[in-house]
Structure formats: C-alpha cells, structure tokens
C-alpha cells in the first residue's frame, strides 16, 4: 500500500512544524559580518593586489608561459625594445 501526500507550506511553516530552530536571525547577523569584512578587505587592497588575488595562478605566470612557447619554437621572445 502506498500513500502520497502533497503539502503546500512555506519553509518557515515546515521548519516550525518539524520543530527545527529559526536560523534567519543568525543568517542575517552572519551576512552583515561577512559584508563588513569584505568591504574592509577591499578598501585595503590596491588594484595590483586585487588582480593577483582574483586571477588564477596560471594567469599570473602568463609572461613565463609565453617565453616557454617562444623557446619551444626555437625563437627568442620579442623584448619590445625594437623600433618599428
């Protein structure tokens, strides 16, 4: 024998029905604290530090990767000092 029940309720109603604690106030406090810390950290970062933090490590070594590719092709990488 199989029974199916469809119950329509909000998450708050379901949480209180099952006796689970209301975590909304705690979540709001945590989000305010997180937002404060993020704003503080961002205000202390220089643009250069932001790029280094947000870019993956592989992108930070892009210049070295280009030099490796030039070396594998048997060429010297352009240094940008040549006049055109």
Number of structural domains, the chain? 1
DSSP structural state of residue 24: H
Domain span at residue 24 reads 8-34
CA distances from 50 to 33, 58, 69, 80 (A): 21, 16, 27, 27
pLDDT, position 11: 87
**Residue 75, domain member (yes or no):** no
Please indicate, yes or no, if residue 18 is contained in any of the structural domains: yes
Nearest alpha-carbon partner for 12 in 28, 3, 23: 23
Kindly report whether the global pTM for this prediction surpasses the value 0.95: no
Does residue 16 belong to any structural domain of this protein?
yes
pLDDT tens, position by position, 4-21: 989 899 988 998 999 999
């Amino acid at each position: 024998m199989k029974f199916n029940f469809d119950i329509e309720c909000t998450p708050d109603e379901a949480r209180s029905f099952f006796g689970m604690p209301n975590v909304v106030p705690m979540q709001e406090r945590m989000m305010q604290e997180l937002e404060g810390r993020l704003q503080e950290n961002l205000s202390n970062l220089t643009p250069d530090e932001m790029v280094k933090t947000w870019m993956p490590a592989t992108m930070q070594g892009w210049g070295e990767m280009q030099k490796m590719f030039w070396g594998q092709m048997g060429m010297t990488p352009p240094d940008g000092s040549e006049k055109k």
